[in-house]
Chain A
Amino acid sequence: MRMRHDDDRLRALMLAGLAGDGTAHAALLRALLTPLRSFFRRRLGGRDDDVEDLVQETLIAVHQRRATYDPARPLGAWVYAIARYKLIDRYRRSGRTTALDDLPELADEFAFDEASDARSDVDRLLDTIPEKQAAVLRATRLEGLSTAEAAERLGIGESDVKVSAHRGLKALAARVKDGWR
């Protein structure tokens, strides 16, 4: 229900922007920042420069190609499709193809849905534990990399990955038990 509400609100901004209202257009782009950041962050594993690059590329595309939005359809699906395309394009340019298979098929809702609310909860929770542990957990638990892959990506040893993951999970469990919210 929350997502419906959000999509309707953002859709109204979009329609006003399409009618020539610059303030509404800016408000829409600003409202997209958070869902876009969390969308790219959980797929790029916390490389913040890349995340912000992709966020900006997506915003520019949303702006330049807004004529391709069909007002009869949910706005989230449209933004999501653009973000997903930008991510795939980035992978292609860097010569990585394997990760494409991991991308979910076109969802009908974008990050305004409950899953992403849960995701951003996870993101916030991960921010409370040491950086290395959070990075290891993002790589192994959220992105599903193997221990070896995560070790290579993060430039640390495999045993370090295992230890960090173990400590990270313990720390998270403690936070949750402490009534984190």
Chain B
Amino acid sequence: MNSEDLIASLSLDIQPVPRHALRRRLGLGLVAGGLVTLAVVGIWLGVRPDLMPAMHGFTFWLKWTYTISLAICATAAASRLARPDGRVGGWLWLMVLPVLGLAVIAGLEMAATPSAGWLAMWLGASWRVCSRNVFLLALPIFVGLLWSYRRLAPTQLALAGATAGMAAGAWGATLYCLHCPETSALFVLTWYTLGMLGAALVGRVLGPRLLRW
């Protein structure tokens, strides 16, 4: 086909593009994936029975502040990377702050605990499954974001994949908090973060294959 004919056929049936089409698309993928993850938490893992009283406590909000701030940074970065000329700017670097903040709190926690109790604090009761669960809960959200990206135009595929994986991991971890009764900052810093990094790594590997257009 010559280029003139191509242009004519592309311009035949032009639908208006809504102003925030890109955000809407990303939001849709995120929410759809999030709903699946939420259902998995509810059906497979079960919401922690003491969720209501826990929500009045400090540690629940500490965990949520950590996971949600990471999720917001990663999502903002992912949305910038959805444009062909998009640059992440400072969003990925900003993620250092919650990690450092939680590390400081973990340090204070350790200082207030006799060293004999450190191991128990670090491993909690669920260290064997925590990272795996965060990782698995990230997958539906990651799939949702991949779906969003299919109509968008990322050009740094590895970075976009890793960022989408990180966003999925952080949102997955946020929903995992509804189940997970662990309370120590050291625990969250280690095992939650590990699960999120696993999701980011998978995104990094799959990005160049799945995001091509």
| CB contacts between A and B, total, < 8 Å | 81
**Is A139 interfacial (CB-CB < 8 Å)?**
no
Cα–Cα, bound, A22→B3 (Å): 16
Is B10 a contact of A67 with CB atoms below 8 Å? Answer: no
Is A30 a contact of B153 with CB atoms below 8 Å? Answer: no
Closest to B152 in A: A68
0/1 per residue, A10-30, Cβ < 8 Å to B?
A: 000000011111110110011
Query: How many residues of chain A get a CB closer than 8 Å to chain B's CBs?
Result: 36
- Stretch of B32-40, B81-89, B102-110 contacting A (4+ beta carbons < 8 Å): B81-89
Closest to A69 in B: B83
**Is A167 interfacial (CB-CB < 8 Å)?**
no
Set of chain B residues within 8 Å of A65, measured between Cβ atoms: 84, 151-153, 213
- Interface SS of chain A: helix, strand, loop or mixed? helix
Closest to A66 in B: B17
Set of chain B residues within 8 Å of A96, measured between Cβ atoms: none
Within 8 A of A (CB), among B1-35: 1, 3-4, 6-8, 10-17, 21-22, 25
**Is A39 interfacial (CB-CB < 8 Å)?**
no
Of the residues B1, B7, B21, B85, contact of A106 by C-beta under 8 Å: B85
Residues of chain A having any CB pair with chain B under 8 Å: 17-23, 25-26, 29-30, 33, 52, 55-56, 59-61, 63-70, 73, 77-78, 80-82, 84-85, 89, 106
Residues of chain B having any CB pair with chain A under 8 Å: 1, 3-4, 6-8, 10-17, 21-22, 25, 82-85, 151-153, 155, 212-213
Could you list 9 further interchain pairs (A-B, Cβ under 8 angstroms) beyond the known A25-B14, A81-B84?
A33-B3, A52-B3, A59-B3, A65-B213, A67-B152, A68-B82, A68-B84, A77-B85, A81-B155
